[in-house]
Chain A
Amino acid sequence: MISTNSTGEPALRIENLDKYYGTFHALRGINLSVKRGEKIVVCGPSGSGKSTMIRCINRLEQHNGGRIVVLGTELNDDVGNIDEIRREVGMVFQHFNLFPHMTVLENCVISSMIVRKQPRAQAEATARRYLEKVRIPEQALKYPSQLSGGQQQRVAIARALCMQPQIMLFDEPTSALDPEMVSEVLDVMVTLASEGMTMICVTHEMGFARRVADRVLFMDGGEILEEAPPDEFFTSSATSAPDNSCRRCWAIDWKQRSECVTPHAFRHLHD
């Protein structure tokens, strides 16, 4: 399962990351290093800064302090870098964000064609391959609004993969889905993981975390409070954040429930 590729620069290095929304301190001194091929699962209560952190990685949000180095390139005010980074970092959103005015196939080929400047035939071949992989090749000519939520999210994954990114970010990909559709999306993500993709997933699906994650991060109040391999994370009931008891409760609660209930029961914890 653990397929670390420890040669050279890590895929992602975050040092002392700070992020403010106005005066609100959303991320406080985050440190994280992700090796190539590593799978990270991020969890934590709503409003804890998970989305903010993951969005800083492809600069949908600009950070205010610290360093983020993605694939050897530091994210800074240099305007030229950012589009190059974004090509290599795929992102899947909670609400899919498919382009409603394009068919599924067009959704998948548009960025390869206009960003990577691939000819249409090649882009379509790639797109069809990935649609096959997410198991909806037959929906290629439909519009997003004609698909179910699970299908839309799988298209969104295929769309991101079509850019052939080196890192994939997932921001709660299953929390907007009806329970019966969660597994079809998780299955696709598991397959992707087994192929060695570097993944950072914000999710509350513990089954998925146990099966796939190399490390699980627990965040609250803009900080990473705990960071451990899943086995350790789910068995230890003591957190490494002794000061704030309330935060601890949440973490313990989260872990304990994860042992006795199905993952879907946690949907109410998401925003």
Chain B
Amino acid sequence: MVSLLRNQKVHNALLQVLYVGSIAAMVLAGIVIARRNLADQGITSGFDFLFKSTGWDVNFSLLPATANDPYWWYFLIGIINTLFLGSVGLILATIVGTIVGLARTSSNDLARLLGRTYVDIFRNIPLILQVFFWYAIITHLPTPRSAHEAWGFLLTSRGLYIPFPNVGSAAFAAATVAVIAAIVLPAWLGRTSRLAQPIGQRHTIQFAAAAAALACSAIILALGRLPDTPLLDFPALQGLNLRGGLRIPPEFATLAIAIAIYGGSYIAEIVRGGFKSVGTGQVEAALSLGLSPWRVFTLVRLPLALRAMLPILANQYVWLMKATTMGIAVGLTDFFMIVALTINHSGQTLEAIGILMAGFLAINLSLAAVFNRINKAIALKGNQLRG
């Protein structure tokens, strides 16, 4: 017996069984205890509750939602809210980050100083504090009656009102797709394998594609306009309330702003790192070929920097998606808050936690998959430029 225990193979097998077994036992014990405790409170476990109506409301949803809707619909709403808030935050943060990051790599001392100050301030203050701050600011904005107005935008404590096309939701969705196509199409066409034409013609084709897609979206908007309304609907005061335009709820605006500013400070550092990684040799080579500084930037520095940045950016985007859970601090019904509310109202604790984990796993994995695709697509072929 003793000699058997001293045998390395037996030893290793035993260790593994012990380790995996004890972890599995702990998880199982937790589940068993939790089920018993929940059963004592009259909650039957299982996923039947998904089809019961919730009986409570969400304050933000892109899909129609009423208190009669079942739980599974609410979870879907939560996921879509999270993805939507995440994407808006991601786009805004990327814009902010690119501007600040470019300022930080600029040859101008003042621009660099400005960029650095921005990063130092906003990176070093917790996101949740920034969320609270912006929420306090927005909710202390004037009431609709005395709202600030600028270029058709209205800033009020009820939310931000922006001009919005007077179109049906289907037409709006189609137009959005067309706009996205206007961005994606030229990039897709730009890949050398797809077009054999020389660079100049290729650019013309890319421009044409983008213009066509944009024109498409304009036509869709014009056709889909609600009858007898102006194309753009401006928000305006009517009685005590604001009518018209699109209302962005304060909670959503808060989170979008906070994520854009905080995430922007991180992305700025990534952008700076990307540009720093482009060797001066390549830039000098391009300059010595007689390319103009702008051409050097778009043809050499930007593409190389993008490739260096993308893997880190992917991590940052995953992080941004998770940051949407701050919604609960101001009461925005993102995926996590819906799960928390579900636990509160229905008591289906284990199931809801399971759904939460599965949801975030799915979001993370699909983001990772998308970025892997992009990464592969734009990776330098061969290794001539590495090292």
Contact = CB atoms under 8 A, between A and B. Distances in A.
Interface residues of A, number: 4
A78 B7 CA distance: 4
Interface in B222-263: none
Nearest to B3: A78
B386 interface: no
Interface string B3-20: 100111111000000000
Q: Chain B's interface: helix, strand, loop or mixed, by majority?
A: helix
A70 to B, nearest CB: 16
Contacts of A77: 7-10
A46 B7 CA distance: 34
Contacts of B6: 78-80
Contacts of A80: 6
Contacts of A79: 6-8, 11
A57 to B, nearest CB: 17
Contacts of B9: 77
Nearest to B10: A77
B8 to A, nearest CB: 4
Contacts of B3: 78
A78 B3 CA distance: 8
Contacts of A78: 3, 6-8
A181 B302 CA distance: 49
Interface in B32-49: none
Nearest to B9: A77
A263 to B, nearest CB: 36
B4 to A, nearest CB: 10
A255 to B, nearest CB: 41
A207 to B, nearest CB: 40
Interface string A62-102: 00000000000000011110000000000000000000000
Contacts of B11: 79
Interface hub of A78, A79, A80 (most chain B Cβ within 10 A)? A79
A59 to B, nearest CB: 10
A153 B3 CA distance: 39
Contacts of B8: 77-79
A78 B5 CA distance: 9
Nearest to B8: A77
A77 B10 CA distance: 9
A80 B10 CA distance: 13
B92 to A, nearest CB: 46
B87 to A, nearest CB: 46
A77 B9 CA distance: 7
Nearest to A81: B6
B18 to A, nearest CB: 15
Nearest to A80: B6
B336 to A, nearest CB: 44
B186 to A, nearest CB: 48
A80 B4 CA distance: 12
Given A77-B7, A77-B9, A78-B7, 10 more contacts: A77-B8, A77-B10, A78-B3, A78-B6, A78-B8, A79-B6, A79-B7, A79-B8, A79-B11, A80-B6
Closest 3 CB pairs of A and B: A77-B8, A77-B7, A79-B8
10 contacts: A77-B9, A77-B10, A78-B3, A78-B6, A78-B7, A78-B8, A79-B6, A79-B8, A79-B11, A80-B6
